[in-house]
Each structure stands twice: as structure tokens, then as C-alpha cells.
Amino acid sequence: MSKDKTFYQCQVCGYSTPKWLGRCPDCNTWGSLVEERQTKKISKQSLSQSRLVSLSDISKAEEERKSTGIKEFDRVLGGGIVDGAVVLIGGDPGIGKSTLLLQVLANIVDSSLKRSDHSQIALYVSGEESPEQIKIRAERLSINSSEIVLYSETLIENIINTSQKLHPSIIVIDSIQTVYTEEITSAPGSVSQIRESASKLMQYAKRTATPIFLVGHVTKEGAIAGPRVLEHLVDVVLYFEGDRGHSYRIIRTVKNRFGSTNEIGVFNMTDSGLVEISNPSELFLSERPTDVTGSTVIASIEGTRPLLIEIQALVSPTTFGMPRRTCMGIDFNRLNLLVAILEKRASLQLGNMDIFLNIVGGLKIVEPAADLGIIASLVSSFREVPIDPTTVFFGEVGLTGEVRAVSMAEQRLKEAAKIGFKKAVIPYSNKERLRNDFGLRIDGFRNIEGLVELIKF
């Protein structure tokens, strides 16, 4: 009798169990466990040769970066492509992953990534589209290079064998969900197939110092399918974000072994492909209404770059028993916390108010430096007093209502001044330490009472 081992694996988080369960005990998803069978032993090769070496004996790793020819994309990669790096690019279908990678390949074949120890070609492995379909896209992008080689294949062993023969200078796998290995019998796209295929590609990348881009689809829940299992494996994880209604696209770094995370690159999807936007603050503020209540602009830092973003709040008496709290772009708990601080420390009666908060442009803000701007927006809408549109805000707010210093204050102010802002409302301790005011009138606050007093007729 064969010793086939059957087990059940959660397709969302990768949890595995010998018995079927209706709900994954790890991530609490219902109905996500799927039967998987493992016939042969999964390879457990390590990525580097095992050896003992003392830290001082290692010569400085040469982490040379090569430009992709697109500055915004270089930025999210941490400065360019590193040899042997495996980069996962996730995003909704149709958002522009294949388009971007084709543009990157076209730039690379006629420029810097060319290496003497690799052949000149770039390999585009597609399991989703036929070469003809890719050709149609390439024509839209005016790309017609003999050095981009298309390869319709989904079996990972063939892909690696071919790569070994061609020795391309870069490889794109579109998408990781379509490739599979013969070593496991479960269906392509399942967690164990994705993990095993990715780890084989990873070994190839490290062994030959070839950079590989993996395209990953996003599931309904918003995670790259088989996500966590891949995220820890690859070197860089990038997410494509964007609104259906807007033509701009944002690429965000979720993980980067060679650079900072939370870095964003902003692009515009045009008729002839993705075009980078080098000054995103102007884009995000372009449709800003003036002289309305509830709208403020904050200076936020995304990765290493300052970005001006509009925050809108709507506070109105509730018509139902339970007041509603809705927010988009910031953490819901953060909003509740700030509302509670306003009630307690500034004696605002928000208990019977519906509160809606929106970060304009579909952006997501994680840093607490947005707090002061959120508070100003809420008070402005609550009191029906517009905020001066030439004022920019930043600062963290603590539970006692104190306004705390945030990092990189000068970069934030500099960006605001560049866009044409005249005033800034910032933490007092940041103001104390400023060496330059960039021509802005700066108000420093120690706590929110002072600020709330100010937003009054």
C-alpha cells in the first residue's frame, strides 16, 4: 500500500491538521480547510550552503542595486533590484501587475541589469495569458523587444530547467498561483503548491543570483492567496492598491529585506501603461474643496517620503438610537480612541453623534502622527467651523489629551511649504527643536484643549 499522506490545510493561513475541521483554529476562517496529499517528500534544501563562519570574517556583502528605469518602482524596492532577490507583487486582478512588470522588463533589457555572467534576455513566464495576449498588451505599451522571451508554462520543474539553459538576467512568474510542482499532488493554487513552487524558485534565485518577480493574486479577504506562507519566504512583498474609480495606483512595500517598509510609489494608469507620479502630494490635494467644514490636510510620512493627505470628517446628530462610527483609511479603534479623548478632555458632546471619517484618495494611514489632523477635522465638522485651508497638521495625541512629538518634523514642514501651505499646527516639543520653519507660521500645542479652543467662531 502506498504511504500517501493526506492532510487538511487552511488555504488562508497555511494551518494544517490531519482531520477535517469546519473552521480553521488558527485564523478562524470558516470552510477554508482543503484536503491536500503529499506523495513525495517535500524538499528541504537550505537556501545557502551550510557552513560556520564568524561575523568578522564575512566580507561586506555587495548589495548592488540596479535601476528598473522607473524611479517610483525603484523607491518601493528600496533603491533598485538586488541580485537574487525574490519579490512578490500582490494586487487585485486588473490593477496593472502584468503591465508594470512588462514595462520593467522592457527597461531592463535595454539598460543596466545586463550582466556578463547572464544572458541578455528577460524571461516572462505566463501561466495565465497566451503569448498573443501579452503581445497585445506590449503593443499598447509600445514594447517590441527581441530580448523579452515569453514562456507559457506552469510546471515549475520545466521553468527551472529552461531558466538554467537560458540563464536570463531576470525572471517574471505571472502568476505564482498558476504554477505547480510534480512533487505534490494537490491542485495548483493550493497553499502547499504555492509554497513549494516558490521555495524552488527561491533556491534558483539565490543559487544563480537572478532576481525573480512573482505575481500573486489577492483573495476576497484581501490577502495574497496562500499569503503568509509566501510572505516569510520572499525578500520583498509589494502590494498594488488603487480605487476602481481612479486611474492612479499605489504600490506599497509591506516587507523589504533590503530597504524600508511602508514606502509607496504612485502611478497613473494611462492608455499607454503606467506612468510614475513624482509629486503625489499635489495629486492627492488637487480636488480639495476649500471653505468647507471637516476637511484638514495632514503631513504624513510614508516610508521615507513626506506626503500631504486630506482628511474629511462628518459629524452629525444621529437619527437612530445607536450612533454610527465609520472610518475609511485609518484604524477604527484609533477613531474611537480619539473621539473618547475629545469627549473627556475637551468636553465635546459626541455621544449622540454619527461620525464618519475618510482619508481621501483611498489611502491608508497607519502612523499616529495623523491624530492631530483627525481631531481638527472632527471638531471642525462638529462645530461647523471651517479650518483655514492653508494650514497643515501633524502630531500624535495621547490619552490625557497631550500632544506628542513625532519624527521627521522638518521633512513634513518642508513638503508643506513646497506645496504652498502657510501655517502648521504641530506638537509643542517638535516646535521647540525646529531648526528651520521653511517660511511657515508654526503653532505648537502641548495638549488638545488649546487646539479645540481655537476652532471656534
Chain positions contacting ligand TYD, by CB under 6 A: 91, 93-99, 137, 140-141, 269, 271-273
- What minimum distance in Å lies between the beta carbon of 240 and ligand TYD? 7
Q: Does 98 bind Mg ion (CB under 5 A)?
A: yes
CA–CA distance, 440 with 423 (Å, rounded to integer): 5
Residue type for 265, please?
G
What are the beta bridge partners of residue 363? Answer: none
Q: Which stretch binds Mg ion (CB under 5 A): 6-14, 92-100, 153-161, 279-287?
A: 92-100
Q: Does 163 bind Mg ion (CB under 5 A)?
A: no
DSSP annotation of 368 reads G
Looking at beta carbons only, is 272 or 304 nearer to ligand TYD? Answer: 272
Question: Are the C-beta atoms of residues 240 and 246 closer than 8 Å to each other?
Answer: no
Question: Are the C-beta atoms of residues 180 and 158 closer than 8 Å to each other?
Answer: no
Looking at beta carbons only, is 240 or 284 nearer to ligand TYD? Answer: 240
Return the one option of ligand TYD, Mg ion, none that residue 273 interacts with (CB less than 5 to 8 A, by type).
Answer: ligand TYD
Q: Which helix (H) or strand (E) holds 433?
A: helix 428-433
Return the one option of Mg ion, ligand TYD, none that residue 64 interacts with (CB less than 5 to 8 A, by type).
Answer: none
Looking at beta carbons only, is 270 or 436 nearer to ligand TYD? Answer: 270
What are the beta bridge partners of residue 357? Answer: 313, 327
CA–CA distance, 8 with 33 (Å, rounded to integer): 6
- What minimum distance in Å lies between the beta carbon of 47 and Mg ion? 28
- What minimum distance in Å lies between the beta carbon of 32 and ligand TYD? 24
CA–CA distance, 292 with 384 (Å, rounded to integer): 8
Looking at beta carbons only, is 9 or 126 nearer to ligand TYD? Answer: 126
- What minimum distance in Å lies between the beta carbon of 62 and ligand TYD? 33
Binding-site size, Mg ion (CB under 5 A) = 1
In residues, how long is the chain? 457
Looking at beta carbons only, is 213 or 393 nearer to Mg ion? Answer: 213
- What minimum distance in Å lies between the beta carbon of 98 and Mg ion? 3
Residue 338 Cα to chain centre, angstroms:
25
Looking at beta carbons only, is 154 or 262 nearer to Mg ion? Answer: 154
Nearest to 215 by CA among 237, 199, 233: 237
Return the one option of Mg ion, ligand TYD, none that residue 368 interacts with (CB less than 5 to 8 A, by type).
Answer: none
Return the one option of Mg ion, ligand TYD, none that residue 279 interacts with (CB less than 5 to 8 A, by type).
Answer: none
Q: How many CB atoms are closer than 10 A to CB 244? A: 8
Look up residue 197 and give its three cell numbers. 513552487
Looking at beta carbons only, is 98 or 312 nearer to Mg ion? Answer: 98
Nearest to 265 by CA among 256, 389, 177: 256
Burial of 384 (0-12, 13-18, 19+ CB in 10 A): exposed
Looking at beta carbons only, is 267 or 393 nearer to Mg ion? Answer: 267
Nearest to 265 by CA among 254, 280, 285, 255: 280
Q: Does 377 bind Mg ion (CB under 5 A)?
A: no
- What minimum distance in Å lies between the beta carbon of 270 and ligand TYD? 6
Return the one option of ligand TYD, Mg ion, none that residue 272 interacts with (CB less than 5 to 8 A, by type).
Answer: ligand TYD
| Chain contacts with Mg ion (rule: CB under 5 A) | 98
